[in-house]
Amino acid sequence: MPHILLCRVEESQYSVLDCFSDQLKEAFVSLGCEVEWFEGEGQQGDLCISIGALPPASCAMRCLVWMVDHPFYIDPFEGDLMIGCVDRTHLSDLDKFGLFTGAALFLPHAGSVSLGQVAKERPIDLLFSGTFISPDFYREQILQLPSLLRRIALPALEAALAHDALSFEEALGREELIEAKNRPIIRFLHTLWDRAVRGIRRRQALDLLAEAGYRVHLIGRGWEGSCHEVEEPLDYAQLLERFKEAKIVLHLGVNFPAGSHERVFSAQLAGAAVISESNAYWQEVYTDGKEIRLFHWKQLKELPAIVHQLLSSDHERLTLARHGQESALASHTWEHRAAQILQQIG
């Protein structure tokens, strides 16, 4: 079996990447691989893996960089790399925007197995975990751009908000801009665009639920002053335990048109029912109403009715949670992703 080296990420929000690396290490060990942490120059193996960050400069062997967000947040990519993307549109963006021309693969997030009992009585009705940065901040930055850039960024933002799930390339709609010389500007515009879309959509959904009389248990940074119930940020291991206390976990405003997120899989493994924004990936791996409930941003007004239906019917909610847990356990754990990586490297 291959000899795998794993890179430690020095800092990550909520210690997420540390947890991911630990669980991937355990998954490779369970599959019979020799696994150790990358300690420095001269260390050799069949493959080095770094999650959510570029490998150290001292790593002289081939490395898989497993992205957890859009490649623009790490670019530029240099060295003997293979890139794993959690969204299929990110793969096309690597090529289209000239970010990387080497080997790349679709490698969805994995769910962290902290199994919770699917139970009627749980203290939290609705839970959402994630960071909030006011979209007003990013919208104001867009409005302060030079007129030429503003005329690019504003239509891209409006296009994204008019669709359920739109990639940055599709929202941009300007083929002549997709050139290597424009990459620094495009990367900057992508950050403003992406953060604005996420913030606007999270605020829209939570405001709508508040108007319908629902209080969401929010965990993460930036929610101060919210009308919902706010809990201080937790590290990822603690969050997995909190998922076990939730009847429903919401998945909102990630802005992945055809990709995954660990929140969905981990919440399902914890025994919660999941309501998620729809995209091409969730429609591919799940049946709406069987393992998950999907809503569409263009029909956002239907979200409170979906919440009401699940909270008012224990049978429907528990059936959804049970099927979701079974599916995540069968197909979306770290062992499944480790096996996919081994298959990819032969």
Return the structure tokens found at 337. Answer: 């992703």
DSSP code of 102? S
Which residue blocks in 162-228 are alpha helix, DSSP H? 168-172, 183-211
Tens digit of pLDDT for each residue in 285-302?
A: 999 999 999 999 999 999
Shared domain check, 327 and 263: yes
Long-range contacts at 92-97 (CB < 8 A, ≥ 24 apart):
92/167, 92/169, 93/167, 93/168, 93/169, 96/169, 96/178, 97/72, 97/169, 97/178, 97/183, 97/186
* pLDDT score, position 181: 62
Task: Report the relative pairing of strands 229-231 and 3-6 from DSSP bridges.
Answer: unpaired
Whole-number Å distance between alpha carbons of 313 and 171: 39
Tens digit of pLDDT for each residue in 297-317?
A: 999 999 999 999 999 999 999
* pLDDT score, position 237: 93
Whole-number Å distance between alpha carbons of 85 and 64: 10
Return the structure tokens found at 54. Answer: 């570029």
Residues 6+ apart with CB under 8 A from 312: none
* pLDDT score, position 177: 66
Shared domain check, 130 and 275: yes
Shared domain check, 209 and 64: no
- pLDDT category at 41 given cuts 50, 70, 90 is confident
Indicate the pTM of the whole model.
0.95
* pLDDT score, position 42: 85
**Model confidence at 268: pLDDT above 80:** yes
Domain that holds residue 148: 124-331
> What 3-state class would DSSP assign to 165?
coil
Q: Is residue 142 part of a domain?
A: yes
* pLDDT score, position 91: 94
Specify the number of domains making up the chain.
2
Q: What is the CATH number of the domain that holds 246?
A: 3.40.50.2000
Shared domain check, 292 and 150: yes
Shared domain check, 340 and 274: no
Q: Is residue 119 part of a domain?
A: no
Shared domain check, 190 and 150: yes
Tens digit of pLDDT for each residue in 186-209?
A: 889 999 999 999 999 999 999 999
Provide mean pLDDT across the span 108-134: 95
Dihedral (CA of 142, 221, 51, 283) sign: negative
